[in-house]
Structure 1
């Protein structure tokens, strides 16, 4: 009996390890833009352990393929993936851009919000929250393909690898313009969205859309974001990004180090005021040190020795 049990445990462990290896291979393929090979690997991994996590990756990969057949696959696996999930993550995941106009999306949207409210309490302005979630997806929805091409642009010395990127960039611009027009209407109707009204995730979406707008939009609505931030109703990173961007646009030095520029196909940080005190300023608003942020997000090395001065 012990031998049989030991043998069974060994087989299960082997299957789990094999499934994890397949998942890693699929993740790598997806990062390169090889969606169909990634989907096949994820499918093989799912056959090994059938986890919700793998199911979610299958759903998001299928959605990125944009065909009607792949949308059916995406919804099938997404429903399985979120059956025990009470978070709102799927509702602002840009990988699902191809799904949001399908009637089946509303079912998932309503069900996730229901489960979230059962665990976390009521979202007081669900209508506003839903629109903001959709705006986040539209704003970021082409980032997967766009970012792959942007990496190639950097590697190729300032040239895209395919002309297919240009209509994609045009669609990206169209979505952003639609978002800008709509966010103004919503802000005029409801005011600045707070975390307690629409959840922290949706509220961050408003800052995201405005920050991708014009300088005039940012300067007009930043005071509303600042007021919400001071009341604990807005994310510090969204506040810092808009503050820094406005300062750079006005020819001043940024405070929190969130803004970068591309110079000779290299990412560089925009000028920072009193850079030796930037970590102190970031900590005061709830952000971590600048060096890991720049390294992890932009692969920029930041080696300015930090000091602490209460006067700064």
Structure 2
């Protein structure tokens, strides 16, 4: 489910109308639901989302209804899950086809006849959006997006259920790195032929797919296409926030320090997350604001990190982060040995 920034993006819109009267009750229940979800109590998470909608005359954000659908599905309450999905599709005109078809939390719904109807409706809405796009390139990018994101979301699902370091987790991590090597030439071929295509040419998801595959590539590839992404931002064909993420990845690999705090490490033994080394961490939020990124405090909450300068330095000391290769590092406390695994963000 999208409690993380890098796997997908959904436009923040209301499924019926804007939150009207009791925003405090709504927000508090949503925050409570997110806490329950992170702790693995999906039933209480789902109930908290329902309470949030009830407190606001059954109105809610598309993103919150999507999360509610995931929580109900995780408890095998398929009717309640479909109710939320139908809300965002029929009333909210949800079109994020790739997010929903790669969502591990919703797998239990796939054999239900209602699932096919939901997917067909979303696809029809998306096809209408694509009428003026470069459809052959869009189709190629659609396939790459699924190949890039689905196994990563499965990996996070395995980790969430306590499977960190399990044989299944290790196998999926290797599968992701193998798939990344297959995705890369498909994307570089497009970039070398067309340059960095904007959303007007390949849609928002297609544009993001270009970034994701380069973000998950080796350092030589990232250094080659980083100037192209910089130029695309200047010309309006890519977002400054995507550029910031790639700048962080490259900077970590080159000098072991990032700029915007987007890259997250994870302790191999405890599973605890922490922010990888930064240059001038005291002023990171000023730099993030300049490129359209939310404050670091909000960004790192999805990994259960309570941001403060004191915690940041304490985490670095505890994990003793060595030179980063730009992919997620899982660092044991005891012997300080690091192991590379697939980049998630």
TM-score (norm 2): 0.57
* 2:190 matches 1:183: no
Q: Deviations over 1:253-287 (max 9, x none)?
A: 32211123235644332222222322222222222
Which of 287, 292, 299 does residue 281 from structure 1 map onto? Answer: 287
Which of 71, 86, 95 does residue 88 from structure 1 map onto? Answer: 95
1:251 aligns with 255
Q: Which moved more, 1:292-301 or 1:213-222?
A: 292-301
1:310 aligns with none
Q: Deviations over 1:126-146 (max 9, x none)?
A: 332333233223212133432
Higher RCO by CA contacts (8 Å cutoff, separation 6 or greater) = 2
Higher helix share: 1
Which of 284, 291, 298 does residue 297 from structure 2 map onto? Answer: 291
Q: Is the partner of 1:261 in helix, strand or coil?
A: strand
Query: 2: CA distance between counterparts of 1:250 and 1:57?
Result: 37
Q: What is the Cα deviation at residue 208 of structure 1? A: 1.0
Q: What is the Cα deviation at residue 226 of structure 1? A: 1.0
In terms of Rg, which structure is larger? 1
1:267 aligns with 273
Aligned residue pairs total 274
Q: Is the partner of 1:164 in helix, strand or coil?
A: helix
Q: Which moved more, 1:281-290 or 1:108-117?
A: 108-117
* 2:222 matches 1:209: no
Which of 123, 141, 156 does residue 150 from structure 2 map onto? Answer: 141
2:331 aligns with none
Which of 132, 135, 141 does residue 141 from structure 2 map onto? Answer: 132
The within-5 A match list for 1:228-239 is 228-239=232-243
2:129 aligns with 116
1:172 aligns with 176
Q: What is the Cα deviation at residue 302 of structure 1? A: 4.3
Q: What is the Cα deviation at residue 29 of structure 1? A: 9.3
CA contact (8 A) 1:79 1:108 kept: no
Query: 2: CA distance between counterparts of 1:170 and 1:255?
Result: 29
Query: 1: CA distance between counterparts of 2:157 and 2:98?
Result: 23
Query: 1: CA distance between counterparts of 2:231 and 2:283?
Result: 24
Shift of the 190–250 alpha-carbon distance from structure 1 to 2, 3 Å rule, reads same
Query: 1: CA distance between counterparts of 2:34 and 2:284?
Result: 35
Query: 2: CA distance between counterparts of 1:236 and 1:130?
Result: 25
Gaps of at least 5 residues in structure 2 are: 1-30, 48-58, 111-115, 313-345
Query: 1: CA distance between counterparts of 2:291 and 2:34?
Result: 34
TM-score (norm 1): 0.62
Query: 1: CA distance between counterparts of 2:182 and 2:191?
Result: 14
2:197 aligns with 193
Gaps of at least 5 residues in structure 1 are: 1-23, 42-50, 65-69, 154-158, 305-312
CA contact (8 A) 1:92 1:134 kept: no
CA contact (8 A) 2:94 2:122 kept: no
